[in-house]
Amino acid sequence: MTYDRLVCANCAAPVNEGRCPVCRASRARLQQQDQGQGPFAGLNPAMLVALLVVLVGALALLAHQTM
C-alpha cells in the first residue's frame, strides 16, 4: 500500500505530509518497506495475471505476423 492515500488517525492529515510524529513514523516505515520490494510488488495477483495474458497475446500476435 502506498502512503499517499493514507490519513493519519492521530492528526487527520495525509500521512505523506508528515505533520505529526505518528505520521512521520508511519511514512518512514512504509518507505523502508517499499525499498525492499521489486517492481511488481505493488500489483495484486489479478493484475499480474492480466499482465501475463496481455503479454502472451502480444507474443502470439507477433508470431502470427512473422509467418
pTM over 0.75: no
Alpha-carbon distance of 1 to 33, in angstroms, equals: 10
pLDDT in tens, 20-60: 998 888 888 887 776 666 777 777 889 989 999 999 999 99
Give the pLDDT confidence score for residue 56 in this predicted structure.
Answer: 97
How would you classify residue 23: left for phi > 0, otherwise alpha for psi between -120 and 50, otherwise beta?
Answer: alpha
Residues 6+ apart with CB under 8 A from 48: 40
List C-alpha distances in Å: 7 to 24, 30, 44, 55: 12, 13, 22, 36
Instruction: Give dist(CA 32, CA 26) in Å, integer.
Output: 10
Q: Is the pLDDT of residue 14 over 70?
A: yes
Predicted pLDDT of residue 30: 81
